[in-house]
Amino acid sequence: MSWRDFWNADTPIYVNERHKTLHYGLIARDIVALIPSRDAKVLDYGCGEALSAARVAGACGQLYLCDGAPLVRERLQARFRGDPKVVVLSPEESDRIADGSLDLIVVNSLLQYLSVEEFGELLTLWRGKLKSTGQLVLADVIPPDTRALDDAAALLSFAWKGGFLVAALKGLVRTAVSDYRKLRAELGLTHYSQSEMVEILRGRGFEAERRPANLGHNPKRMTFVARPLGAD
């Protein structure tokens, strides 16, 4: 099984519906805060189920939702059919977005599932689609010294505040014997240090800096804001 197969099914990552709803609500709130104007064109790349995408669409002019998993896209298509503000795309279809047209690209919790080469290729795609004044936000990037225990602690803290602590404890036990744990052990997750990220981004034509706070619930992971080099 690959990470791609893993994401094309209901995953054990969310311990229950409340967890999933709160997670996507938090991500949508954080994306909305990054939108520069009401008419902005926004791409959420590796968007997952994007349960609160309607809120993001309500705060911008056009929202592109791109995900690699056909099952995820089918569900998004069903939810947003007939909504002219939301366009659902596969990675292959993302080239349909006009060059130099996007104000904001958000990539949350994706880089760990990609090889360094895949990440590099996507940076070239994103660089081409962004306006010269646009921003690429790469979030939930895992630093090298992170352990599974750190992720568990962040989940329990989120669960405590969100009122699903018991479900989270049970979920952690389920995850420990799930395909996710096996894949994490077999394939691993791609980690980046802060300086590696800045260097990789510079090599692909971006000026980047780490944002003080990560998007979402996990404070140990990192968010980077990147702007096309040479922009005013």
Ligand X SMILES: C[S@@+](CC[C@H](N)C(=O)[O-])C[C@H]1O[C@@H](n2cnc3c(N)ncnc32)[C@H](O)[C@@H]1O
Among 53, 72, 154, 197, binds ligand X (CB under 6 A): 72
* CB distance 201 to 217 below 8 Å: no
Contacts of 196 (CB under 8 A, 6+ apart): none
Asked whether position 30 contacts ligand X by CB under 6 A, the answer is: no
Tracing tokens 């990440």 back to the chain, one arrives at 119
In the DSSP assignment, the letter for residue 68 is: S
Nearer Cβ to ligand X, position 46 or 162?
Answer: 46
Nearer Cβ to ligand X, position 27 or 60?
Answer: 27
Nearer Cβ to ligand X, position 66 or 97?
Answer: 66
Asked whether position 134 contacts ligand X by CB under 6 A, the answer is: no
Tracing tokens 């990220």 back to the chain, one arrives at 197
Q: In what order do the strands lie in the sheet with 130-141?
A: 86-89, 62-66, 41-45, 102-108, 130-141, 222-228, 206-210
Dihedral angle computed from the Cα positions of residues 21, 176, 196 and 103, in that order, rounded to the nearest 10 degrees? -20
Using the rule CB under 6 A, give the single segment among 44-52, 161-169, 173-181, 200-208 that binds ligand X.
Answer: 44-52
Asked whether position 68 contacts ligand X by CB under 6 A, the answer is: yes
Provide the token pair at 138. 């790469």
Asked whether position 162 contacts ligand X by CB under 6 A, the answer is: no
Asked whether position 69 contacts ligand X by CB under 6 A, the answer is: yes
- State the residue number with the nearest CB to ligand X: 48
Question: Least distance in Å: CB of 25 to ligand X?
Answer: 11
Nearer Cβ to ligand X, position 49 or 103?
Answer: 49
CA angle 116, 104, 106 (to 5 degrees): 45
Provide the token pair at 129. 């689609």
The CA distances from residue 197 to 167, 188, 204, 210, in Å, are 35, 18, 11, 9
Nearer Cβ to ligand X, position 29 or 207?
Answer: 29
Asked whether position 46 contacts ligand X by CB under 6 A, the answer is: yes
Question: Least distance in Å: CB of 108 to ligand X?
Answer: 4
Of residues 95-114, those binding ligand X (CB under 6 A): 108-110, 113-114
Among 91, 128, 143, 205, binds ligand X (CB under 6 A): 91
Cα gap 92→14, rounded to integer Å = 27
Nearer Cβ to ligand X, position 10 or 145?
Answer: 10
Query: Which residues of the shown chain bind ligand X in the complex (CB under 6 A)?
Result: 4, 7, 27, 46-48, 66-69, 72, 91, 108-110, 113-114
